[in-house]
Structure 1
Amino acid sequence: MLKKYTLLPWLSLTIVLSTGCNAESDDVTQNEDVKKLIKHTLDNMVFVKGGSFMMGDFGIIQNGQRLRVTRYKDDDYVHKVTLDSFYMYKYEVNNWEINIFKKYNPIDWELPKYNKAEAADDMPAMRLLWKEAKAYCDWLGKLTELPFDLPTEAQWEYAARNGGKEHPYSTATGFFDKTGKLHPPLKMHGSDTGSSKTRLYVNEKYPPNQLGLYNMMGNVSEWVKDIYAVDYYEYSPEHNPQGPESGDKHVRRGGGAGFELSNVTITRGAQGDNEPGLLDPNKPARGGVGVRCVVNQSNPLQ
């Protein structure tokens, strides 16, 4: 874990924005809500030591048979990946954080409207498009002069699996817990127990995984940096893969608001910002996709 972070002189970095600036100064970092956001973010970045792992659906052996871990077959090609060390935000970014971002950024899209329960400050921000999630992490990078970004797909999976272990669930143990103490009770889609209802939780309702990261399963799925290609695993480079060079969709990982098959850590999906229905912030087609950021450096963040 990082030491308590004290704001340093580099926070006087001037970022001129066309709207939403303090009337007395164009330096956004001098505003108290932005100072609080920066400090909170940097205090809660978790160091993830780099290493090698086998990325993809490694399967679970039960009664002599290999059972799938994930829903789809686009991650069946298990391949070796080696990552440099990085820092990852221990939480899913919440509405309080996204609302500060919106306040100081003139944007040409409308972020979604939520019902009262979803809109609470401590609930995870959801229904974000990929470009909105990327813009938030980039903004943190401008404010701090640190290499903030969306995690790559490989970084996300490595962290969710507790440093690349063969853990199908991103819980405190790495495995399923029937008591419901480690994660929300899992429901199959279409059951009569209300599985069609979105169940969101504040960040610390359930214990983190072994690296100290909260809600890498359940709650909302999360955008990663990579463009999506169904066969990318077959030609992915070993060292720090960044995803395909072109495509019209991006990868999202994990999550599922309580649906059993999408709560495993390495579930993989894809979505394009311009798919029908996604541009209307009131349409549920946007889906429950949120964000957490990384800092791509191994040196201490101070």
Structure 2
Amino acid sequence: MGYSYHRTQKMTGAICIVGAFMMVSGYAVAQKIDWKAPADKDRLISAITTPSPKRDTWEPLSLMLNWGYGKPYDDTVRILEDYLKGLPPPSDEELAKFKDKVRGELVSVKGGQFLMGDFGPQFSREKLPYSANNGAAPAHSVDLDSYSVLRHRITFADFDLYTRASHLPPIGIPNAYELQFRFPDFPASFVTWQQSRDFCKWAGEVTGMPLDLPTEAQWEYAARSRGEMWVIPSTEVPVVDGKYNLTQMDDLITAKGEGTSPEPIISRPVGTYGENRLGMSDVFGYGREWTYDWFDPNYYSHSPKRNPRGPSAGTLRSVRYGTDSRIHLVIDRIGFAPDTAKAGLGFRCALNQAEPVRQ
């Protein structure tokens, strides 16, 4: 009886919240959109191609895409989808700039040994785990050869070059709502594991370098600035004994992304959260990343010490930042079906050669 009552109360509260949100949203749209005016094609295309858009750019687009019906909405969706689907193959100049960009963003990671996983029981003051993630333990010693990793996650602009060159449909338009996060320097999302790896392989062909998705070990070693004992390795947030000030973290995230995204918790421009000591960006903040490995929550108990590449087979692929809470730790991991494509799930590439790239 008590359970049913509380469940009913929660459902009633949720309905009220949704109703209030719809009323507010409807009012906002009514105040900012002229329903009699035709969709402005030039303005819409200008908006969707603007990097790190300010509020006056993304707000009209966001309001319309959240409204979800009517001729202005239909026209907006059609114009944006037609534009993205109609992009021509990249020019030689575009590919040359992309090649230079990739080479310029590769961060050299000197190989070495580190303690991978949740090192809280060994090094925290209380000798307790930092993470509630059941795949982050036990901590174990890993040796890695030298490699390089991209400073930033792959952006929509990057991925569009690949789909245009490969005559593939554009990503990020599964439904109209997602179009409001599809600005050029936002991290590419709605990409499956295979699409992510195919991009890295293609980028490797364009640049003449053996690019691939990073292994879990490569990702964590670089994210922790070659294995430093920090669970959030940002130089902008004080970390003491592996811990950090959560209020400061939230305040910084808000300040960093202010005015550049309609839903900051979903997506913001790459580089929003700054770089770690190594120079790898956004290893602190929101967003998840595909890695090369198959996923096994118990893999750490029998992982090989040298250059681990995950289990030989599986049904899930490993994703880093594998928590659903707002506290994202670089030691956390989770497994997703390889065909998963969702908001906030992107990737970056790694270069599997020991010698640093000459800039």
Unaligned runs of 5+ in 1: 1-19, 23-27, 187-195
Q: Which amino acid aligns with 1:76?
A: A
2:119 corresponds in structure 1 to 58
Give 3-state SS (helix, strand or coil) of 2:284's partner: coil
Equivalent positions of 1:174-193 (< 5 A) are 175=239, 176-177=244-245, 178-180=247-249, 183-184=252-253
Equivalent positions of 1:1-302 (< 5 A) are 31-59=92-120, 65-107=126-168, 111-113=171-173, 115-172=178-235, 175=239, 176-177=244-245, 178-180=247-249, 183-184=252-253, 198-254=265-321, 259-261=325-327, 263-274=328-339, 278=340, 286-302=342-358
Q: Confirm or deny: 8 A CA contact 1:126 1:220 kept in the other structure.
A: no
Q: Confirm or deny: 8 A CA contact 1:150 1:223 kept in the other structure.
A: yes
CA displacement 1:254-295 (0-9 Å, x = unmatched) = 2769x423x111110110124xxx4xx6xxxx3421011110
Q: Confirm or deny: 8 A CA contact 2:135 2:334 kept in the other structure.
A: no
Instruction: Supply the distance in 2 between the matched residues of 1:182 and 1:39 (Cα, whole angstroms).
Output: 35
Q: Confirm or deny: 8 A CA contact 1:56 1:78 kept in the other structure.
A: yes
Identity %: 28
Give 3-state SS (helix, strand or coil) of 2:178's partner: coil
Instruction: Supply the distance in 2 between the matched residues of 1:209 and 1:230 (Cα, whole angstroms).
Output: 27
Instruction: Supply the distance in 2 between the matched residues of 1:255 and 1:235 (Cα, whole angstroms).
Output: 20
Deviates more, 1:227-236 or 1:88-97: 227-236
Question: How far is the alpha carbon of 1:64 from its aligned partner?
Answer: 5.2
Q: Which amino acid aligns with 2:253?
A: P
Question: How far is the alpha carbon of 1:147 from its aligned partner?
Answer: 1.2
TM-score by length of 2: 0.64
Q: Which amino acid aligns with 1:206?
A: Y
Question: How far is the alpha carbon of 1:298 from its aligned partner?
Answer: 1.9
Q: Which amino acid aligns with 1:155?
A: Q
Q: Which has the higher helix share?
A: 2
Q: Which amino acid aligns with 1:35?
A: A
TM-score by length of 1: 0.76
Q: Confirm or deny: 8 A CA contact 2:172 2:182 kept in the other structure.
A: no
Q: Confirm or deny: 8 A CA contact 1:222 1:254 kept in the other structure.
A: yes
Unaligned runs of 5+ in 2: 1-86, 256-262
Q: Which amino acid aligns with 1:53?
A: F
Give 3-state SS (helix, strand or coil) of 1:225's partner: strand
Give 3-state SS (helix, strand or coil) of 1:104's partner: helix
Question: How far is the alpha carbon of 1:174 from its aligned partner?
Answer: 7.1
Question: How far is the alpha carbon of 1:32 from its aligned partner?
Answer: 1.4
Give 3-state SS (helix, strand or coil) of 2:217's partner: helix
Task: Report the aligned-residue RMSD.
Answer: 2.9
Question: How far is the alpha carbon of 1:234 from its aligned partner?
Answer: 1.4
Give 3-state SS (helix, strand or coil) of 1:75's partner: coil
Question: How far is the alpha carbon of 1:91 from its aligned partner?
Answer: 0.4
In 2 relative to 1, CA 142–128 (structure 1 residues): closer, same or farther, beyond 3 Å?
same
Q: Confirm or deny: 8 A CA contact 2:146 2:353 kept in the other structure.
A: yes
Q: Confirm or deny: 8 A CA contact 1:52 1:83 kept in the other structure.
A: yes
Q: Which amino acid aligns with 1:260?
A: R
Question: How far is the alpha carbon of 1:112 from its aligned partner?
Answer: 3.1
